[in-house]
């Protein structure tokens, strides 16, 4: 029994190291995040001549969607903020959170501001949102009654936890958030990712239960009358292969399910559908999918 306990302890310690840069093969960066405004000339991942693996494979169903909606219809002005997990750099194109943002900038030019931050850059992300909401470019937002931009926040792992924290910070200032999206949300010390604050209109949670690191299985609304929990969707990979070549071998070996959900094309296609629903306001969330999800939704 002592030997088994030592083995389990060692596995947990190794898994924990997958949250440090060496496991991801990436380095920490505290560089200033760049503003990215959508332009019709920007080339997203769907048009890039690159191998169909990693982030490209993760977004393959997104690339099959009809993106003429964003180009041909009037959409809501929006601010979309993404957070990467672990110690991933905010500009690391090996991760679908980053390439998905570039795709959104391409299909929703001009009216949608999309930007990705490292999950430890929550304060910088908050200041950026406030600056974008302000009328004069400073970090003083317009009043809640005059706010015209739809705010959407998404993230994976620690990034999902940070997404809820950003929404809560905005709520303290009376600023509404249209949608939060959590992908295998991992609790960060000092954060609360299970309870969605009342300034959020809708929230969705994708999670999986396997591996040494796995996401929160249930989120709930602090005020159910003000926040709609779209669902807690459990993803399974026992009979499905997901390309995770964007991670080192040791990460794929020790914690593969946590990376599989990040690279799952079904998850990103559904995220794209929900964002389209929020911006265009013409289709119910989760009904725009061209490919049905094979998931189990937990009941509240």
| Residues 5-63: tens digit of each pLDDT | 444 443 443 344 344 443 433 333 333 334 344 444 556 677 766 666 678 788 888 88
Highest mean pLDDT among 27-36, 40-49, 244-253, 270-279: 270-279
28 vs 67, higher pLDDT: 67
Pairing of strands 78-84, 112-118: parallel
89 vs 142, higher pLDDT: 89
Percent pLDDT > 70 in the chain is: 68
Q: What is the pTM of this model?
A: 0.80
Q: Looking at the predicted structure, is the pLDDT value of residue 181 above 50? A: yes
- DSSP tally for the chain: helices H, then strands E: 10, 9
Rounded to whole angstroms, the Cα distance separating 99 from 275 reads 15
213 vs 31, higher pLDDT: 213
Q: Summarize the confidence of residues 169-197 as an average pLDDT.
A: 94
Per-chain mean pLDDT for the chain: 78
pLDDT of res. 253 = 74
80 vs 59, higher pLDDT: 80
Q: Which of 169, 140, 138, 142 is nearest to 153 (CA)?
A: 169
Identify any residues that bridge with 84 across adjacent strands, giving them in sequence order.
Answer: 118
What are the residues whose beta carbons fall under 8 Å from the beta carbon of 125, sequence distance 6 or more?
A: 33, 81, 83, 115, 117, 162, 166
CA angle 45, 50, 53 (to 5 degrees): 85
Rounded to whole angstroms, the Cα distance separating 274 from 180 reads 10
Identify any residues that bridge with 79 across adjacent strands, giving them in sequence order.
Answer: 113, 151
pLDDT of res. 14 = 39
Task: Map out the domains of the chain with their CATH numbers.
Answer: 33-298 (3.40.50)
Q: Summarize the confidence of residues 242-259 as an average pLDDT.
A: 82
């Amino acid at each position: 029994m002592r030997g088994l306990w030592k083995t389990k302890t060692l596995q947990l310690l190794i898994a924990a190291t997958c949250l440090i840069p060496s496991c991801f093969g990436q380095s920490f960066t505290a560089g200033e995040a760049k503003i990215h405004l959508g332009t019709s000339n920007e080339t997203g991942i769907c048009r890039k001549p690159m191998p169909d693996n990693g982030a490209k494979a993760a977004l393959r169903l997104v690339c099959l969607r009809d993106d003429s909606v964003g180009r041909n219809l009037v959409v809501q002005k929006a601010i979309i903020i993404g957070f990467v997990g672990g110690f991933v750099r905010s500009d690391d194109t090996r991760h679908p959170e980053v390439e998905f943002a570039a795709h959104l900038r391409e299909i929703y030019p001009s009216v949608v501001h999309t930007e990705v931050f490292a999950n430890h850059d929550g304060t910088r992300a908050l200041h950026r949102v406030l600056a974008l909401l302000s009328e004069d470019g400073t970090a003083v937002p317009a009043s809640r009654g005059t706010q015209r931009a739809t705010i959407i926040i998404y993230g994976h792992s620690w990034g999902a936890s940070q997404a809820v924290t950003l929404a809560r910070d905005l709520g303290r200032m009376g600023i509404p958030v249209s949608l939060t999206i959590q992908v295998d949300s991992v609790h960060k010390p000092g954060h609360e990712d299970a309870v969605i604050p009342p300034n959020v209109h809708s929230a969705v949670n994708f999670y999986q239960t396997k591996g040494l690191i796995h996401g929160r299985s249930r989120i709930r609304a602090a005020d159910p009358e003000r926040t709609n929990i779209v669902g807690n969707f459990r993803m399974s990979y026992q009979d499905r292969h997901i390309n995770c070549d964007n991670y080192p071998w040791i990460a794929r070996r020790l914690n593969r399910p946590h990376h599989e959900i990040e690279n799952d094309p079904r998850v990103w296609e559904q995220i794209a559908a929900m964002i389209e629903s929020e911006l265009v306001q013409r289709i119910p969330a989760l009904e725009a999918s061209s490919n049905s999800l094979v998931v189990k939704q937990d009941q509240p």
